[in-house]
Amino acid sequence: MSHPSVVIHPDGELLARATAARLVTRIVDAQAARGAASVVLTGGGIGIATLEQLAVAPARDAVDWQRLDVWWGDERFLPRGDPDRNETQARAALLDRVPLDPNRIRPFAASDDADEATPERAAEQYAQALRHATRAQDHAPVPWFDVCLLGIGPDAHVASLFPEQPAVYEEERSVVAVHGAPKPPPTRLTLTFPAIRNARQVWLLAAGAAKAPAVRLAVSGGGPVQVPAAGAWGREQTLYLVDESAAGELPRSMASPGVL
Ligand SMILES: O=C1O[C@H](COP(=O)(O)O)[C@@H](O)[C@H](O)[C@H]1O
């Protein structure tokens, strides 16, 4: 477990640009060290804005896109191509605009996929894909992702781990189906805490004043059942990347603007 650090940017647009620049560096470093890199994408406003900025980042060509594995932290269980799917939004923002290897893009199943028509089967299928991608030396059921991006909801949910829902108690499985999510759509698929905690780095993104209470609770020791963001940490680093509005309720000692 790594203790969280907070980096504050003036506004949401700069947060997305700075996070995109940070991602380029992280991916390039991982590719240099291990030959390939892996990222876990998030949905949500600032998560997708970050991908849009990555698509136009001046240094984007420093990334070897063919040696990047792309996973998702959660998905809304909807038909393929539905505009509310995190996959659809990520493809439009970035994935269709860079030369990724299609075999290394790992979306969750869609509700209209013939073989994975139930959320439970789709969750098991994703868990299996993660298991297959794991190196023996990782000794874990999911890869040690280089970065796991997570948006934070106003209720402090991350991925589709919502406060007090069954998924926040999951300790064994790496992926579960979610029914009755308080944010629509109600049926979702999500990585669990044990899966997220295999990431080398976890970056939690939040912009806007509506996220300020969630950010405060998450960095000041909230419990993961009520404050799921507090249960997300990386093996090596846990970073809160936020704008000034989302940092508005942090103690003064933490609320200094960050630089890249
Ligand atoms: O539904 C979801 O919401 C969260 C946060 O979204 P935001 O728009 O409030 O930033 C997101 O992280 C998650 O991936 C998504 O499925």
Quick check: 257 pLDDT over 60?
A: no
Q: What is the mean pLDDT of the chain?
A: 95
Largest Cα span, the chain: 53
Task: Give the containing element (helix H, strand E) for 219.
Answer: helix 212-219
The protein residue whose alpha carbon is closest to atom 14 in ligand 1 is 43
Q: Quick one: which atom of ligand 1 is closest to the CA of 47? A: 10
Is pLDDT of 3 > 90?
Answer: no
Q: How far is CA 154 from the centre of its chain?
A: 16
Closest residue CA from atom 10 of ligand 1:
44
ipTM metric: 0.97
CA of 70 to the centre of ligand 1 (A): 18
Q: Which of 72, 150, 155, 160 to mutate to test the pocket of ligand 1 (most atoms within 8 A of CB)?
A: 160
- Ligand 1 atom closest to residue 207's alpha carbon, by position in its atom list: 10
What is the rounded average pLDDT of the residues 46-60? 97
Closest of 245, 134, 228 to residue 183, by C-alpha:
228
pLDDT in tens, 100-154: 999 999 999 999 997 667 999 999 999 999 999 998 888 888 999 999 999 999 9
Task: Please report the pLDDT score of residue 19 as a whole number.
Answer: 98
d(CA 103, CA 70): 10
The protein residue with its alpha carbon nearest to ligand 1, atom 1, reads 44
Mean pLDDT confidence for 24-41: 98
Of ligand 1's listed atoms, the one at least distance from the Cα of 181 is 1
What is the predicted pLDDT for the residue at 259? 39
Q: Say yes or no: CB of residue 42 within 6 Å of ligand 1.
A: yes
pTM given for the model: 0.96
Quick one: which atom of ligand 1 is closest to the CA of 75?
16
**pLDDT at residue 140, as a whole number:** 87
Nearest-CA residue for atom 8 of ligand 1: 44
* Better-scored residue on pLDDT, 259 or 258: 258
Indicate if ligand 1 lies below 6 Å from the C-beta of 182. no
CA distances from 194 to 136, 170, 176, 235 (A): 18, 8, 11, 11
The confidence score (pLDDT) of residue 260 equals: 33
Better-scored residue on pLDDT, 168 or 114: 168
Residues 190 and 206: their CA atoms lie apart, in Å, by: 19
CATH of domain 4-201+220-243: 3.40.50.1360
